[in-house]
Structure 1
Amino acid sequence: MPAAPDLPPAPDKVHIRRALLSVSDKTGLIDAARALAERGVELVSTGGTRKAIADAGLPVKDVSDLTGFPEMMDGRVKTLHPVVHGGLLGVRDAPAHKAAMDEHGIGGIDLVYVNLYPFEQTVAAGADFETCVENIDIGGPAMIRSAAKNHGYVAVCTEIADLQELLAEFAADGTTSLALRRKLAARAYARTATYDASIAAWFAGELGEFAPGRFSIGGQLAQTMRYGENPHQQAAFYRFPGASPGVATATQLQGKELSYNNINDTDAAFELVSEFDPKAGPVCAIIKHANPCGLATGGTMLEAYQRALACDPTSAFGGIVALNGRLDAATAAQVLEIFTEVVIAPEADDEAVALFRKKKNVRLLVTGGLPDPRAAGKTFKSVSGGFLVQSRDTAHLTPADLKVVTRRAPTEAEVRDMLFAFTVAKHVKSNAIVYAKDGQTLGIGAGQMNRKDSARIAALRAADFGLDLTGSACASEAFFPFPDGLIQAADAGCTAVIQPGGSIGDQAVIDAADERGLAMVFTGVRVFRH
């Protein structure tokens, strides 16, 4: 480990005399460059950035004027030079550093504004391997890191918002404060870290490495929150680059700021309705505490909402409503009749939005589309001292995946009901039991320590709201280890059961089903959700 050199303390105020600007995204560039030039700051730049500044009539030097070397190798080498990095890393008040700078003709650089090649956007656009590699910035991160290390003398900006904050302070007396430079340095290292994390994740994916030796997660702050799950906890929300349509990318049309629990529950709701193709018809899900309390199809979105609400109108109070299609005025009017925290949909018509504006606290989100429920990806969960990573649950069943294990085979209607119920069960906290019929959940039992209790609770909820389970399908997201849970479901009125199978007690469960005339299928797929 290098020993800490004996360097003088950094000054509070540093005048900006020379700025190096090199950006891919030129939003706000000219206004910022003009503000610097008007205060006598020498502008140094590269390539397209230099041209844009010059075309605006502002004086600007090419970095090659400092280094004595032209850009080369298709622009890969232009700022990787001792004159540039010496100007960034030199400690102005250290005699040895000053002597080296004088000896080699290195002038100090007091401000660096660099935003990086758009690697994340290039990957998200589906570019080929070679194009993605060419969009990996090398010189940019090197300059950012050099400037950030020497923040005692150099201010570094990686986004236009950083530069605008700096210019507000600079306008007073042409200087930057140490406090601001430290804050900008911290942001700069966070930016290069997330950039490198994106590159590493992409490379691992290209190489088919699910679990590389080192794994980083990079996200951009989307929102700070008043608190987390509970008022004594801090919380923030970060967004991954290139995220698919969902709560992370949604536009909030109105309502209070989303809370930690709102975002968690809204994500669960939208992921569930996204399992159902909107071309097959409207689907509505109502979620409470990350569990479905009702999901249904309908001929219209209003009918889908009404049928979903019928499953458990008590739990729907204060819940999240998710739709797989457009929110219309008729549906909006009924949703607003009970207290609802959030409504999320791919789109909403003007009349629906107008109705929501009368309820200023209800949050309305539109996403512009649905995510692909079978798209590859990873999910993360923190544990003490680390985090767990797994691939997304993209399990999707068709009638061909079902193995009939009882004497009676299910009817076509029962198969439809079983697949519907099993899709919902995939999004219910384990242990999970779901009763469904005709595209409507009738009873949901979630998060119990044994499957029999989940089956019993689901049946009790159906009875509470006058829903008849006779002829329904029962889905269990994991196998029945004993016949008791299946018997509970049969006694409640179900006639068809779908479950993964695979228990050492499978035969006893099959026998119990045959004794009661049930049709039962095994999926071979477990969909636990903890």
Structure 2
Amino acid sequence: MAVASKKIPAPDRVKIRTALLSVSDKAGIIELAKALTEQGVKLLSTGGTHKAIAAAGLAVTDVSEVTGLPEIMDGRVKTLHPNVHGGLLAIRDDEDHVAAMKQHGIEGIDLAVINLYPFEEVRAAGGDYPTTVENIDIGGPAMIRASAKNHAYVAIVTDPADYAPLIDALKANGGETDYAFRQKLAAKAYARTAAYDTAISNWFAEALEIETPAYRTIGGVLKEAMRYGENPHQSAGFYVTGENRPGVATATLLQGKQLSYNNINDTDGAFELIGEFSADQGPACAIIKHANPCGVATGSTLRDAYLRALACDSTSAFGGIIALNQLLDAETAEEIVKLFTEVIIAPDVSDEAKAIIAAKKNLRLLVTGGLPDPRSRGITAKTVAGGLLVQTRDNGVIEDVDLKVVTKRAPTEMELEDLKFAYKVAKHVKSNAIVYAKDGQTAGIGAGQMSRIDSARIAGLKAQDAAKAMGWAEPMTKGSAVASEAFFPFADGLLSAIAAGATAVIQPGGSMRDAEVIAAADEHNVAMVFTGMRHFRH
């Protein structure tokens, strides 16, 4: 049953007379406390915050003097008291509330400055179960929510970034806050506790291996407001979830203008793909355009890997995203700057390479400090009208698959290496996906078509175009390995790949017409292996 409102109008201006300061992150708190003191505000505080403010020589009252009780249970219980929550929740213009305050000696609190135990940081750092649980804040969220509910009278600040606007507002308004300002602070406060609870609930789901919890939320912190989304008429923001995974969300932007919505999406796809190639396996490069790879290659050097990836489709690479699995060196940087590129992302970069890239002031250079682990679990989410599709990350890797040879001819050692390479790439190509590869280099990529045969044909045409552009006698699909991220429903797609020159095929298998497809491969002396693992990517 809903609780009825007494419909008491909220005042516009509220004088800040008493403020409660209780923060885990002490950044800026002393400066704020000094500014509040200069405004004649009485300060209440707890634990470490009280000690820090007192050590700065400022007058501050310990909250235990307000509650009449000391902190107990290792600080778990210190603010959970009517004298605190009554001070935060009391409606100052309600006669019954005012009478209760007088009867119980409750003093109104006009400002609450609260941030929470660092649960997200402890979780990201891999804290053990007891330590992570201990960093779940209880009193903080309770006070934040109480203050935010009563924003008609109480200003709630949860972010150190809002200290300066608060100080400016108090100075401009004679120590008062206005209603619109308090509303915005309250909205931010509820978003903060929602994101905090989201992190906790998702951690429990992971720790207890609950695959589909009854309630699932996705929370994030705004990293930057964007100029627009996929198109100029769409608004957008980039939020980070706190997942401890090397990538675009955690990378450092060393140079270049702000990343766009599309840049971030494409860069994420590029770096997730290059994460399939660990640095100790040798240099590798992936070039992405519109969320699909247009060229991927390994090489004897990083420069060699880049040039081989570029050769696959140099036309589409224009204005693309380049992902590298090793430190970006000067030799590679010199080649990259010859082509217009939107973003480079790598685990690290040499000083010499930085200087070379600096000549292209708009070129974004991102450094991550590591590669994403393709085997790690995690979750991904996609919105639909009225709902949210959540799944575990596609962490299937070809190295963990028992390949099954289903044709009369088994692949040669070289074909097998190229099959594995092609399948790694196909995992990151929009379905339907076909990838030709030869000697650790993509030869042609067909992505996102409605039929698999069309993807095979397009990949073959791309290979022919590359051969003309590079002056090769024949396309690299001649003698190549070909990967399909899902099974061939008919033999026609396979026959198209064979016509392009493929001599070995890797696919999941599982079609009703597998026997027909295998027979077609045998008829053309083509080796085929089944993985039993599909990699749809929509």
Which TM bucket (shorter chain)? over 0.9
Instruction: Show CA shifts across 1:39-81 (max 9, x none).
Output: 2211111111111111111111111101111111221111011
After superposition, give the CA deviation of every residue in 1:471-507 in whole Å (9 maximum; x if it has no partner).
2101011111111111111121111111111111111
**What is the CA-CA distance between 1:448 and the residue it aligns to?**
1.1
SS at match of 2:163: helix
Q: What per-residue deviation string (whole Å, max 9, x for no partner) do you get for residues 382-409 of structure 1?
A: 1111111111101112386110111111
User: Match of 1:272, as an amino acid?
Assistant: L
Contact 2:148 2:189 in 1 (8 A): yes
What is aligned with 2:501?
A: 493
Is it true that 1:147 corresponds to 2:155 in the alignment?
Answer: no
Question: Structure 2 matches for 1:209-358, cutoff 5 A?
Answer: 209-358=210-359
In the TM superposition, what is the alpha-carbon distance from 1:2 to its structure 2 partner? 3.9
Q: 2:490 aligns with which of 472, 482, 496?
A: 482
Letter paired with 1:222: K
Structure 1 stretches of 4+ moved >6 Å? none
Residue 27 (structure 2) aligns with = 27
Please tell me the residue identity of whatever aligns with 1:285: A
**What amino acid maps onto 1:112 in structure 2?**
A
Aligned-residue offset at 1:271: 0.4
Query: Deviation digits for residues 169-197 of structure 1, max 9, x if unmatched?
Result: 11231111111111100000000011111
**Number of the residue aligned with 1:196:** 197
- TM superposition score normalised by structure 1: 0.98
The question of 1:164 aligning with 2:164 is answered yes
Q: Secondary structure of 1:465's match? A: helix
Distance 1:143 1:361 in 2: 45
Q: In the alignment, what sits opposite 2:472?
A: none
Task: Report the counterpart of residue 111 of structure 2 in structure 1.
Answer: 111
Cα displacement (A) at 1:355: 2.0
What amino acid does structure 1 have at the position aligned with 2:184? K
What does residue 42 of structure 1 align with? 42
- Secondary structure of the 1:398 match is helix
Q: Which moved more, 1:365-374 or 1:162-171?
A: 162-171
8 A contact 2:278–2:371 mirrored in 1: no
2:378 pairs with 1:377 = yes
Say whether 1:529 aligns with 2:530.
no
Q: Is the 8 A contact 1:283 1:324 kept in 2?
A: yes
Q: Which amino acid aligns with 1:132?
A: T
Which whole-Å CA distance do the structure 2 matches of 1:399 and 1:65 have between them? 62
Q: Secondary structure at the match of 1:504?
A: coil
Identity %: 65
Tell me if structure 1 keeps the 8 A contact 2:125–2:244.
no
Aligned twin of 1:78:
78
Deviation for aligned residue 1:7: 4.6
Which residue in the other structure is 1:15 paired with? 15
Partners in 2 of 1:377 and 1:398 — Cα distance?
Answer: 20
| 2: CA distance, partners of 1:461 / 1:205 | 43
1:5 Cα deviation (Å)? 3.2
1:399–1:415: 8 Å Cα contact kept in structure 2?
no
For 2:520, the equivalent position in structure 1 comes to 512
Distance in 1, Cα, partners of 2:150 & 2:164: 21
Conservation of the 8 A alpha-carbon contact between 1:46 and 1:63: yes
Match of 2:478 among 470, 486, 489: 470
Does structure 2 conserve the Cα–Cα contact (< 8 Å) formed by 1:244 and 1:371?
Answer: yes
The amino acid that maps onto 2:31 is D
Per-residue CA deviation, residues 292-336 of structure 1 (Å, 9 max, x unaligned), is: 000001111111110000000000011111111111122112111
For 1:135, the equivalent position in structure 2 comes to 135
**Could you tell me how far 1:93 is from its partner in structure 2?**
2.0
Secondary structure at 1:498's aligned position in 2?
Answer: strand
Cα distance between partner residues in 2 of 1:139 and 1:399: 46
Report the alpha carbon displacement of residue 357 of structure 1 after superposing the two structures with TM: 2.0
- Cα distance in structure 2, aligned partners of 1:243 and 1:139: 27
Q: Which residue of 2 aligns with 1:174?
A: 175
Matches of 1:412 and 1:39 in 2, distance apart? 78
- What's the CA shift string for 1:365-388, capped at 9, x where partnerless? 111111111101111111111111
Q: Which residue of 2 aligns with 1:429?
A: 430
Q: Distance in 2 between matches of 1:40 and 1:30?
A: 15
Quick one: distance in 2 between partners of 1:418 and 1:31? 61
C-alpha contact 1:344 1:366 (8 A) present in aligned 2: yes
Residue 36 of structure 1 aligns with an amino acid whose one-letter code is L
Q: Distance in 2 between matches of 1:223 and 1:30?
A: 27
- Contact 1:21–1:49 at 8 Å: present in 2 too? yes
Matched residue SS, 1:80: coil
Which has the larger displacement, 337-346 or 179-188? Answer: 337-346
Q: Which residue of 1 aligns with 2:470?
A: none
Partner of 1:443: 444
Q: Distance in 1 between matches of 2:436 and 2:342?
A: 26
Q: CA deviation at 1:286?
A: 0.4
Give the aligned residue type for 1:494.
Answer: A
Aligned-partner SS, 2:353: helix
Counterparts in 2 of 1:43 and 1:481: CA distance versus 1, 3 Å: same
Counterpart Cα distance in 2 of 1:75 and 1:339: 57
Q: Distance in 2 between the 1:129 and 1:326 partners?
A: 35
C-alpha contact (below 8 Å) 1:121/1:242 kept by paired residues: no
Deviation at 1:261, TM superposition (A): 0.7
- Contact 1:7 1:94 (8 Å CA) reproduced: no
Question: Does the 8 Å CA contact 2:453/2:492 hold for their aligned counterparts?
Answer: yes
For 1:480, give the aligned amino acid.
Answer: F
Q: Which amino acid aligns with 2:410?
A: A
Contact 2:250 2:368 in 1 (8 A): yes
Q: Which amino acid aligns with 2:387?
A: G
Q: What CA distance in whole angstroms lies between the structure 2 residues aligned with 1:358 and 1:409?
A: 50
- The letter of the residue matching 1:465 is A
String of CA shifts for 1:328-361, please: whole Å, max 9, x gaps.
1221121111111111111111222222222222
Q: 1:400 to 1:107 in 2, by over 3 A?
A: closer
Residue 86 to residue 296, structure 1, CA distance change in 2 (3 Å)? same
Q: Please give the root-mean-square deviation of Cα atoms over the aligned residues, in Å.
A: 1.2
In 2, the alpha carbon distance for the partners of 1:256 and 1:61 equals: 47
Q: Which structure 1 segments of 5+ residues have no match? A: none
Q: 1:142 to 1:70 in 2, by over 3 A?
A: same
CA distance in 2, matches of 1:15, 1:110: 7
Looking at structure 1, the residues matched to 61 and 213 of structure 2 have their Cα atoms a distance apart, in angstroms, of: 43
Relative to structure 2, which stretch is displaced further, 307-316 or 500-509?
500-509
Distance in structure 2 (CA, Å) of the matches to 1:501 and 1:30: 65
How far apart in 2 are the matches of 1:86 and 1:129? Answer: 34
Instruction: State the alpha-carbon separation in 2 of the partners of residues 299 and 470 from structure 1.
Output: 22
